[in-house]
Structure formats: C-alpha cells, structure tokens
Amino acid sequence: MATSKFGYDIRFFIFRAFYLQRKPYLCTSVCKNQMIMRSLITLIALVATIATASAREIYPLNDGWEFFFKSENTSDNARIVTLPHSWNTDPLAGVNFNETTGNYLREIYIPEEWSSKRLFVKFYGAQSVTDLFLNGAHVGEHRGGSTAFAFEITPYIRFGMDNTLHAIVSNNFRSDVLPVSTDQNLYGGLYREVELIVTDEMAISPLYYGTDGVLCRPSRVDKERVEGEIEVHLLSDSKSDASLHLEIHNAKGKVIYSRSVRLMDNQQEAYIPFLFEKPQLWSPATPNLYTVTVRLQNDVIRDIVQIRTGFRQLTIDNETGWIAINGHPHRMHGVVLAHDNALGGILTQDDLNEDLHLAKEMGATAIRSLLQPHPQYLYQRCDETGMLCWIDLPMQRAPFIGDVAYYSTASFESNGIEQLREIVLQNLNHPSVFTWGIFSRLVARGDNLLNYVRQLNNETKLLDPTRPTVACSDQDGPINFITDLIVWRQDVGWQRGATSDVTLWRNQLQQNWSHLRSAVSYGGEGFLGMSARAPQLQQRSNLPTEERQTRFHEAYSRQLDADSLFWGTWVENMYEYGSARRPYSLNGLGLVTLDRREKKDAYYLYRALWNKEMKTVHLAARRDRLRYRNEQSFTIYSSEENPLLLINDDTIGLHQISPAIYLSDTIQLQGQAQIRVSAGGVGDGVTIQVGNALRPQMRQGLR
C-alpha cells in the first residue's frame, strides 16, 4: 500500500481528487477506462513524489486486462477480466479441461515524472510458462506456475505515453518445465495478483528469485539470544554513497535492535549482523513474530522493505527422531493440501482462511503443500496461527503408466534447480515452514535420477542449512537415503492385501530401518453418494465408496496414529481436488469435498482423535438412511468417554475398539429407526429406514 510519511493512505486522496474532478468520465468502456487510468497514475505519481520522496511505491495491476486465446488470432472479441484470472474455472470439466495458451493485454500510462525511476512488474503466480512483452519488446520469460517472479521494464518504457503490457501464458505440457507428472489440474492463466513496483535507481532488488530482496538468516536461536544476519540484495549505481539501516521490532512495535552499515560503490549484496537477548521464540503454541525493516538511504530515504518473521530452533531429536522446536519434540498430525476448490485454482484469502480453519478444527498441526507452494498469504497465516508447513518442489510421479517424472535433459534439470531456488528463497522468512520436500513417489530408474535428486537436496542445503529436507516415497532403494527425513506413502489393504498387513510392514521397518527418520502418509478415495450398502454394489468391494474410505482410515489410525516410531502421520488429503485425468474428473482422497460443504466420516474420526479442545461425537455412515439388512451395528467417533447410544429410546451397548472409536452391539431392526448418540453435552443423530422389503424397491429405483 502506498502511504505518505504521515502514515495516511495516499490512494484515499488520489481517489477523492480524481472522483471530484473527473466524475463525468466514470464509465465501463475500455477507452474511457484507459483515460481514467492515465489520469489516475499521473495523480499517483505527483502525490507520491510529494509525500514519500524517493521510497518505493507499489500499485496493483489487477483490473482492465483484455484476455483472448491464442487460437482466436485477434483481440477483437477480447474479454475484459480482473486478476486473478484463469481460463479453467470448472475443476470437473474432464476432457474439456483446457490446456492452451492465452493472451493478456493491458494499457498503462507511465508519467514523465517517473523517467528517473526504475519500474518492475511482479507476478505472484502464472500457470505455467509466461512471456512478457512491453510495447512489442520481449522483456523476459518465466517457467514455473507456482512462484512469484518480476521483470524490470524500465528500458522498454515510453515515458509520458501509453504503454502496452502483453503477457502470454501457457499451461500446455512441456517436458522441460516441472511438474511433468501430476494428476492435479494445472489451471492456466494469471491466477494470482500482479503489481507495478516503482523504485529509485538505487533500490532493494525486486528481482532476486521473486523475493522482496531481504532474507533473514539466523545462526543461533535459543532462549538466551538470537543472532544471525539479514541478507539484502541491491540494485545500485556506480557511486552509491549509501548505507543500509536495519531495525527489528517486537510484536508491540518496540525497536529491540538497530544497526547501520555503509555500502561500497556498485555493491549488489549486503549482510547486516544482528543480535538480541531474551527473545520471544516462535512455536506452534506461541507464534511470536518480529518485524524486520531495512532502509536504504543516503541524503534521503531511497527504499524501504519490511518483512515479518519469527525465530525458533529447529532440530531433530536424537532419541525419538521427531522434529524438535526450541528443544521440544513434536509428533505431527499432518494433512495434505492441493491447490483448488469448486471454482478452480484461484484461492482467495477467504478461501485460504477457511481451508486453514477446517484443518485446525480437525486437529491438524501441520500442512503439506502438495506438488508446489500455495500463495504467500497461507504461510503468513500459518506463521500467525502456529501451523507447521511442508512445501514441495514439483518433482512428483503421478499414478499413470504414460507418465515420465524425470527427463535427463539440461533444460529439465535447470528448470528444477531454478524453481527450487524460488521456492526456498521466497519462503525462507516463514518460521512455520519446517521442511522442504524434494520429491514425491519417484521410481528410481538409473543413476541419472539419483544424481539429480542428490543435486536438488544439496542445493537446498546450501540455500537453507537450517531446515531438514524430506521426501515422500512408496519405493525401496537408495533414493530413500538422500533426504534428512522420509515419509512412507503406504496403501497396503487398499488395492492389495489387508489393512492389518500394515502392522507387519511397521514391524519390519522397526527391525531393519529404525535409524531412518520416518513418518507415514496414507489415504484412499471415498465418493459421497456411492454406498457400499447398496444391493447392486455388494459384490464390488474395490469401489471407492465413503464407507470403504472410512474403514481404511479407521484401521490405519488404530495401528499407526500414536506410534512413536514415526515423527508424524500425514493424511491424504484434506480436500478433494480436480483431476481431469481421472474417471470422475476428481481425486476423491479428500476428507472434505471439493466445495468444502460436506465433511466425510473420516474427517470426524481425526477430529475425535486429534482435537483435544473441541468435543466431537459423530455417528458414522449417517448418510446411509436406507438399509435393507435387518441386522445393523453402528460406529461412533467420540472424543468424550462413555458415549450413550439410543435407538428408538432404547439404550444399546457400545464397545471401545480403539481410541475415539466405539462399535455397537448388532441388533435387529425393521422399519423406521431413530438413532441418537450423545456424550459430554454434544451429540449426533439420524433417522433411517431398515428392512429386507426395501431391497427390490432399491433395485428398481437404481436401474
């Protein structure tokens, strides 16, 4: 937000002056919008020059874009869109999911007053390859759909005139842009925000791998002191005669540390040491944050950048193999998050808040950003709320025989390294991020892949030696010994064997590989409306019904959830996600539906197990209201002891079969039955219809 030195929002004065003087011009036509924007940016420039001397200004460029597909050949029928924008808005489009190339055009008037400035366009996410042109000149290309990137446009600007921005975005498959194997929909377009950054010729760089140019690198963190250095990347002229001034503020706004360093001429990087005592450390229980302000100045202030961060000691406990935060081991209850909802891949701040709220309500203490990073806002909220984060590099193998997850080409490998650097550096300042995911479910075929995974792991350790690396694996072999942590993706009992076999696997792991720092990840699809109790589905035991998903999670949670061998349990997935490559155009692993409206039974199972602050009593299979068998039993998930089950006001015996899971006696029912369960002042219930007489009616109705 552009603000004056008095702290007022400049845009308020701009809008007031603009509205009062040019009210007759307010309309929706493109030409008048361009006239309005020209006057608006001129006013912005004049007010900003008066109010803030030479400090940077940031202006959103989200409105007024003309969009058309490359296949349309012309912009005559272009649509006016506001960013974020995607040409895929239906996750369930199936074969109609659009992998193509789109054009985004926008006129922007650059005032003559900015001729001594440097200008940058920053994109916070464009799926997947973006080329930017200004006035017909190629400014640059970015390959990768989930990270921010910026281009300097100063050399191509016509000051005092209209300028044409043209972004060409493609989400077509390319063998040199990760990911090359995924079942997640990659929603094409400028699906995150875009902004214009205006700086002095001497500035903190917006170009350093899409970061703000300020990185916090602590070297010692404990309850006695915090020390380290602030890494600053610069754009400076040959005679800078400037200094950097650092201030660190606590949550109350008090300056707890300050320091200035002189810059040499044409210096591109600077490191400012810091040290302060008795810090308020960040942890999931006490997510304390600090504000770091870096000011570039000589005779006047040239640039200011602020970041928020927290300080915590992150180690691996030698006895348990668990992640230790400030010396305290944490066994994680994690959920895996994809990147869309029922409206596609554009996730607003409200969407991200809701996703985080539901995960915390279920009792999750950690999230995994599957395949690629989420918007920065999610990690900011995790910083503030104490949720731990695992962020993946898009190095993944999807379960399709036609996919190749790794191409042994220079262009593929360089793109992986480039995206890795962007992911790590853009998220380095977030204390909630505890690990970097190097790969997921790769099949190690040949030395080239192993060597490349080692290269990725080594590069990550160079970029950030303070966090461990992790991989998710469902294969044996040396690929599992590269990262610091390993998460075993287990599904025995889903397509093969029995769920009880997972205990045999666990015992073998304990016997042979207990020295590995292991966690476990699991999940199975379960679609609402597909009931295993329906007569015509009884013989098809492999259908992904909700009941089958529920039984799978019951068995795995009973055998693995509290096992001290594992530093964490990761449930796949928190939410369903769109997958045009799957039969239903949907990956049904989620515990919550794609539209976030329905929580499946397994959601309540984990809420009863994990959330110790919220009372949970849930009657499983409550969606199955028509049951043709007279013999019935009921499963209850309860965080409260001794739940009471009533059927038509008769008390039915319950047996606790594992933590939070209760099973009723089998009873004979006929006709309508009212089922109620309660404990600790909360309850659940449903009315069902039971009897063999229903069977032919159901068959007839379902034909």
- For 202-330, where are the alpha helices, taking DSSP H only? none
Residues 185 and 128 in one domain: yes
The total domain count for the chain is 4
> Residue 259: its pLDDT value, please?
98
Question: In 3D, which of 262, 38, 51, 253 has the Cα closest to residue 161?
Answer: 38
- Domain region containing 544: 331-387+524-565+572-614
Residue where a domain terminates, one of 264, 279, 314: 314
> Residue 226: its pLDDT value, please?
98
> Residue 41: its pLDDT value, please?
46
115-154 residue pLDDT tens: 999 999 999 999 999 999 999 999 999 999 999 999 999 9
Residues 597 and 658 in one domain: no
Residues 301 and 346 in one domain: no
Residues 588 and 641 in one domain: no
Residues 496, 498, 499, CA angle at the centre, nearest 5°?
115
And the tokens for 565?
């061998």
> Residue 447: its pLDDT value, please?
85
Q: Distance (Å, rounded) from C-alpha 171 to C-alpha 167? A: 13
Question: In 3D, which of 437, 387, 386 has the Cα closest to residue 416?
Answer: 437
> Residue 446: its pLDDT value, please?
77
**Which residues, given as ranges, of the chain have pLDDT below 50?**
1-53, 696-703
CATH code, domain with 649: 2.60.40.10
CATH code, domain with 593: 3.20.20.80
> Residue 444: its pLDDT value, please?
82
Q: Distance (Å, rounded) from C-alpha 577 to C-alpha 590? A: 8
409-437 residue pLDDT tens: 999 999 999 999 999 999 999 999 999 99
310: left (phi over 0), alpha (psi -120 to 50) or beta: beta
Residue 357 neighbours by CB under 8 Å, 6+ apart: none
Residues 292 and 366 in one domain: no
